[in-house]
Amino acid sequence: MSKLVWSVGGVGVLLAGTLTVWLQRPVELPAEDPFTAAAVTIDSPAPEAPPAVAPSLPPRPPRAKAPPPVPPPSRAQTPVTVARRPPPLREEGTRATQLRGRIAVALRGDHPTPVARRDAVLSEFFASGKSQEPWTQEAQTALERWREAITSSVLPVQWEPTGCYSAGCLAQVKFPDAASYEEAHRRVAGLQLGEVGPHMQLPPEHLPSGEVVVSWAVLRPEPL
């Protein structure tokens, strides 16, 4: 009986030592299979995000119906513009402006002597043509008023007949000397001749006798 116990005990000790040696052996792992490793390292797909829900919009109001197209006006309804002739007063004003412009050009031109300047201006009056229009009566009355003002305040002058043209009315006046002419010339700007066109005194001509001849002019008035 004691032999059997020893035998069992010896076998147990031997197995225990053998197991201890086997557990202490280095363990060699097999080479890693590239295909298996690749298969293992594949990332797992991310979980799908829940579908986005569009924000709810308020209901769109119903679209208004377009108005029915308006048919183009018929030919009979199309307004017709008729060119009308300018009123006579406008034409009259244009003519007066043109005539005054010609006289101004002649008066401001380059002339060798005052007499040549006067003659150039008189030529524009004569070229405009004789006139007996209603305004010429008022112009002649204004020239007569001019003569009376000079006669009463300076001295009597010799007066030639008045001539009226489309550009204005003219009167030729002769002074006995230069002093009387200068005094009359000084008063021209302050003369009040009534409701007529502008008045002007043309350059004088000094005669060998000492007398001075000058032309007075009342221009064609502008229409109201």
pLDDT digits (tens, 9 = 90+) for 95-142: 888 999 999 999 999 999 999 999 999 999 999 999 999 999 999 999
In terms of phi and psi (left: phi > 0; alpha: psi -120 to 50; beta: otherwise), the region of 151 is alpha
DSSP-derived 3-state class of residue 126: helix
Residue 58 identity:
P
Kindly report the backbone phi and psi dihedral angles of residue 37, in degrees, each rounded to the nearest multiple of 5, phi listed first.
Answer: -65, -45
Rounded-to-integer distance, Cα 142 and Cα 197, Å: 10
Tokens at 86, concatenated: 């300018």
Domain ranges of the chain: 88-219
More confident call, 118 vs 155? 118
Strands 168-175 and 158-159: antiparallel
pLDDT at 79 over 50: no
* CATH number belonging to the domain at 88-219, selected among 3.30.70, 3.30.980, 3.40.50, 1.10.1240: 3.30.980
Rounded-to-integer distance, Cα 208 and Cα 1, Å: 197
**What pTM was computed for the model?**
0.58
Q: Are 100 and 115 in contact (CB under 8 A)?
A: no
The predicted structure's pLDDT at residue 58? 55
Q: Quick one: average pLDDT of 73-79?
A: 51
For 208, which DSSP code?
A: T
Q: Quick one: average pLDDT of 23-47?
A: 40
- Residue 150, Cβ neighbours under 10 Å: how many? 22
In terms of phi and psi (left: phi > 0; alpha: psi -120 to 50; beta: otherwise), the region of 4 is alpha
Tokens 């005539």 found at: 99
CA angle, 164 then 169 then 173, to 5°? 115
DSSP-derived 3-state class of residue 163: strand
pLDDT at 18 over 50: no
More confident call, 224 vs 11? 224
The predicted structure's pLDDT at residue 66? 60
Give the torsion sign (CA, 128, 130, 131, 136): positive
The predicted structure's pLDDT at residue 164? 96
pLDDT digits (tens, 9 = 90+) for 156-190: 888 888 999 999 999 999 999 999 999 999 888 88
